[in-house]
Structure 1
């Protein structure tokens, strides 16, 4: 299997997991666990998992002042701000609003890649992002219902989350060219855990966990292992072989994958209109991935 296929496969799996997370997380919040409590459970669990694995198996350390500072910034933007703003925003606003606003991530990635990494921004990449963004927005707009309402503060938190995650994808790229993915993810989750615990510790202690139904426990486990551990590991690994713009462009697949999941569960109906919007999203991702040196060996 070629490296290009592996990278696209990893990014597709990440988009699939994220696409299902909007609805799953809303089942848990706020009736069972508060948004910040859920973050602490996820981040601390992932920090322990990656920390133990990195220490026992990888046995690699981040060296140098510059790399250590960059890894701390990755923990702040990729874990702390990202997670706190996303779950607090999702707790307030509708999932459809969150999905719509998250499509600004590739725009943030493109902007900061050009500024910080001096990544070449060609017409094909800009066109691909524009096409995919159009498809995503049309799909989400067509999926609205009269009962779906948003929240201004919640929407603003989602925008801040998207901006923070976009910056993270850019600044973590140089680290991935030098270190193992487990080494990087272990450090950023350790930093993130220290920062999120003060926000959510009280919410961790509040719930009566013995009263949780099996479905809620499964949802929590899914958010720990799939949404947290697998997605960050695969995203970070993919950045070793792909530019941040391609990783960011996969955000546009989340709405259409969310629709497929809903159809499979019988809560939505697939239509020709949605199929056309999905084609726009896939076409946009294709245009971004076709840029020179987009996927290959680390630079």
Structure 2
């Protein structure tokens, strides 16, 4: 593994640690303090200028007019659709369920990468997808039979979010071969904000900001700076050096991180509403998906 590939894996690890924490942190202020559409509107409202500042003053790179349609599509899939569906989904369902369902992304990416990008499916990738998938499916099937804070509609939103994000990872890959990461993400967020505007502006205007506490502002700041700005940078940077299927495979870490966060909330902060989402079956299943990450990201040995 060369230096750039090593950095790409570290970036993927950092992004998915942020995402794993975000499940429970973002849910903590919805819908009492802020609605899902308003939350997404704020994310894009503040994060988009941050990306454009970097693009304008640091990168200074322009894109060809012929690539605008693909950037529009990436903005729709990767910044608008997936974020709206995710926040509406996490607002309704449990953090652990949401993180489990998101593990469907590598399957989507694997299929579409093979069809659209002609990416070769190695035995390690396939085996990793199967093992990680077994862990995810076990959790989903078991979770549907026990009491908890899950929701059918919320889970459906999360699944559609995962589909949108998986397609985004595939469609954005060719752009990463032509432009720097900041350039691509700047345009993706700009178009994403334009798509989100009609869905979020009313909720944003009706949000009672006077009722925000210090904790509310800290959560919003975390989501804007870390979940949105840094995590997107980490993910899109990694696409310069690893395939979309490897990038998406790191999502298998999110159920484990989400489980740890829920455990902390239950045991340390006495947030008992999540206690039914914790059991041995979910622990074992999370270990399976982590092992799946290892297999998918492991580089095949070359033969002479």
Give me the TM-score of the superposition, normalised by structure 2.
Answer: 0.88
SS at match of 2:157: helix
User: Do the aligned partners of 2:106 and 2:245 also contact (CA within 8 Å) in 1?
Assistant: yes
Where structure 2 has 5 or more consecutive residues not aligned to the other structure, the ranges are: 269-274
* Alpha-carbon distance change, 145 to 26 in structure 1, aligned in 2, over 3 angstroms: farther
Give the corresponding residue for 1:233. Answer: 233
User: Do the aligned partners of 1:106 and 1:249 also contact (CA within 8 Å) in 2?
Assistant: yes
How far does the alpha carbon of each residue in 1:269-292 deviate from its partner, in whole angstroms, 9 at most, with x for none? 998866654442232112111245
Give the corresponding residue for 1:25. Answer: 26
How far does the alpha carbon of each residue in 1:219-245 deviate from its partner, in whole angstroms, 9 at most, with x for none? 111110111111111100000000001
Give the corresponding residue for 1:8. Answer: 9
| Structure 1 residue corresponding to 2:294, chosen from 271, 286, 292 | 286
More displaced stretch, 175-184 vs 265-274? 265-274
List aligned pairs for 1:9-158, cutoff 5 A.
Answer: 9-65=10-66, 67-138=67-138, 147-158=147-158
Name the CA distance, whole Å, in 2 between partners of 1:257 and 1:87: 18
Task: Kindly state the Cα deviation for residue 79 of structure 1 after the two structures are TM-superposed.
Answer: 0.9
Name the CA distance, whole Å, in 2 between partners of 1:230 and 1:102: 20
Name the CA distance, whole Å, in 2 between partners of 1:234 and 1:46: 14
More displaced stretch, 128-137 vs 247-256? 128-137
* Alpha-carbon distance change, 222 to 37 in structure 1, aligned in 2, over 3 angstroms: same
Task: Kindly state the Cα deviation for residue 121 of structure 1 after the two structures are TM-superposed.
Answer: 1.2
* Alpha-carbon distance change, 279 to 27 in structure 1, aligned in 2, over 3 angstroms: closer
RMSD of aligned alpha carbons: 2.4
Name the CA distance, whole Å, in 2 between partners of 1:90 and 1:252: 17
More displaced stretch, 28-37 vs 153-162? 153-162
* Alpha-carbon distance change, 77 to 197 in structure 1, aligned in 2, over 3 angstroms: same
Name the CA distance, whole Å, in 2 between partners of 1:159 and 1:25: 18
Tell me if 1:206 matches 2:214. no
SS at match of 1:46: helix
* Alpha-carbon distance change, 6 to 139 in structure 1, aligned in 2, over 3 angstroms: farther
Task: Kindly state the Cα deviation for residue 155 of structure 1 after the two structures are TM-superposed.
Answer: 2.2
User: Do the aligned partners of 2:33 and 2:211 also contact (CA within 8 Å) in 1?
Assistant: no
List aligned pairs for 1:121-270, cutoff 5 A.
Answer: 121-138=121-138, 147-265=147-265, 266=267
How far does the alpha carbon of each residue in 1:164-217 deviate from its partner, in whole angstroms, 9 at most, with x for none? 100000111111111111100100000000110110111111122132111111
User: Do the aligned partners of 1:125 and 1:291 also contact (CA within 8 Å) in 2?
Assistant: no
Equivalent pairs counted in the alignment come to: 292
Name the CA distance, whole Å, in 2 between partners of 1:32 and 1:167: 32
SS at match of 1:56: helix
SS at match of 2:28: helix
Name the CA distance, whole Å, in 1 between partners of 2:137 and 2:299: 23
User: Do the aligned partners of 2:37 and 2:199 also contact (CA within 8 Å) in 1?
Assistant: yes
* Alpha-carbon distance change, 39 to 271 in structure 1, aligned in 2, over 3 angstroms: closer
User: Do the aligned partners of 2:48 and 2:190 also contact (CA within 8 Å) in 1?
Assistant: yes
Name the CA distance, whole Å, in 1 between partners of 2:280 and 2:85: 35
User: Do the aligned partners of 1:133 and 1:252 also contact (CA within 8 Å) in 2?
Assistant: no
Task: Kindly state the Cα deviation for residue 135 of structure 1 after the two structures are TM-superposed.
Answer: 2.8
* Alpha-carbon distance change, 280 to 147 in structure 1, aligned in 2, over 3 angstroms: closer
Give me the TM-score of the superposition, normalised by structure 1.
Answer: 0.89
SS at match of 2:118: coil
